[in-house]
Every structure is written in C-alpha cells, then in structure tokens.
C-alpha cells in the first residue's frame, strides 16, 4: 500500500478517551498489535494540515510542518486526562530513544487546557517535543473519531503513511507500525 493514504491505516479501535461523547468501535486489533486490514472511515488526508501550535513549556510557537524536513515522523495526539495516552507515552519515548535521528517524534497535547500535562510528562519521562492543540484542530482535520490517543505516521516527504487509533501502543506494536508504514526498522 505504499503511496496510497486515502484510507490505509495501521489499525483502528476507538477504545481510547473521548472528549464529550464516546464513539463506537469501528475495527479492531489483537492484544495491542495493530491489524493491517483495518481502516478508518472518512480519512482522506494525503498530507498533514499546516498548523502552528505553541510548544509545551516554551514561549512562542513551534510549526507543525506538512513536510518534516526529510525525516519520517511519528506524531502522537494525547491528553493528560487520557489513561491510554498515559500508558503508551513511555513506549513512544523508548522507541524514540532507540530510533535516534532516523525517526522524529512530536507529541500534540490535544483538548487539554489545564496544566495536568506537566505531571504526565514528568511521570512518563517523555523528552521528545510536544506542542499544544487546545481546540483539537489537528484531531478534527484528521477526520477520525474524536478519541485519543491517535498516532500519525508521516513519511519523509510529508505524506501521511498511516494513522493508528486504538489501544495504547506497546513498543513492539509501534516498532511494527514504523517498519511497515515508514520503512524504518528499529
């Protein structure tokens, strides 16, 4: 499926945290491992929307680029009030650590207007950069159910290789997604 991203996804299960209303499950995964045949209804993004979002803990803003400077990127939408988000953040950081410069990671604090993120970042030891999206604009533009966590896999040319929305990612599941969708073996 390389080169096609209208609806090609790693796995979808809306079992995460929803803001306001819960969304129905649309597809599944097994034991935290994404299924390759699952797709998300209505996803039609070839590239990420061009947004400028403020960086957590830093004055000013950091650009969420449509083209991530030639480096494959894992973008994780999360919130401090989301238990599956808190569960997967250490796995994301561990994979980020092992990937080194071959893979970029960016967190997007989504629909979380408070300061709870500080404690979550400290407890989960997340060190990769995160930006803040209080209105959930990126989540809305992805056209996936409004539930977190969501992980977006972006190729070095800026095209979206896949979106995972489901149970908290484990290190093996994330490594599988990165290998299958981005061609980066870790």
pLDDT (mean) for 74-88 = 96
Position 106 confidence tier, pLDDT thresholds 50, 70, 90:
very high
Residue 102's pLDDT is: 93
Fold of 11-21+35-182: Glutaredoxin (3.40.30)
Q: Which residue has the higher pLDDT, 24 or 72?
A: 72
pLDDT for 16 equals: 62
Quote the tokens at residue 177.
């997604």
Q: Mean pLDDT score of the chain, rounded to an integer?
A: 78
| pTM beyond cutoff 0.85 | no
**Where does the pLDDT of residue 51 fall: very low under 50, low under 70, confident under 90, or very high at 90 and above?**
confident
- List the domain boundaries for the chain: 11-21+35-182
Integer CA distances (angstroms), 63 to 43, 133, 145, in order: 23, 12, 24
Q: What does the pLDDT average to over 145-160? A: 92
Q: Contact, 72 vs 103, CB < 8 A?
A: yes
């Amino acid at each position: 499926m390389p080169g096609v991203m209208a609806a090609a996804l790693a796995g979808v299960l809306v079992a995460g945290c929803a803001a306001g209303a819960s969304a129905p499950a649309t597809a599944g995964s097994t034991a935290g491992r994404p299924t390759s045949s699952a797709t998300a209804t209505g996803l039609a993004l070839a590239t990420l929307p061009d947004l400028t979002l403020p960086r957590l803990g830093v004055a000013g803003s950091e650009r969420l680029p449509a083209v991530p400077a030639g480096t494959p990127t894992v973008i994780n939408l999360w919130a401090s009030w989301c238990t599956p988000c808190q569960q997967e953040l250490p796995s994301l950081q561990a994979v980020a650590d092992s990937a080194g410069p071959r893979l970029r990671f960016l967190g997007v604090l989504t629909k979380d207007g408070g300061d709870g993120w500080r404690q979550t970042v400290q407890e989960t030891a997340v060190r990769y950069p995160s930006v803040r999206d209080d209105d959930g604009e990126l989540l809305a533009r992805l056209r996936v159910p409004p539930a977190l966590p969501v992980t977006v896999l972006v190729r070095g040319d800026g095209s979206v290789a896949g979106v995972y929305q489901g149970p908290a990612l484990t290190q093996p599941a994330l490594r599988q997604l990165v290998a299958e969708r981005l061609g980066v073996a870790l």
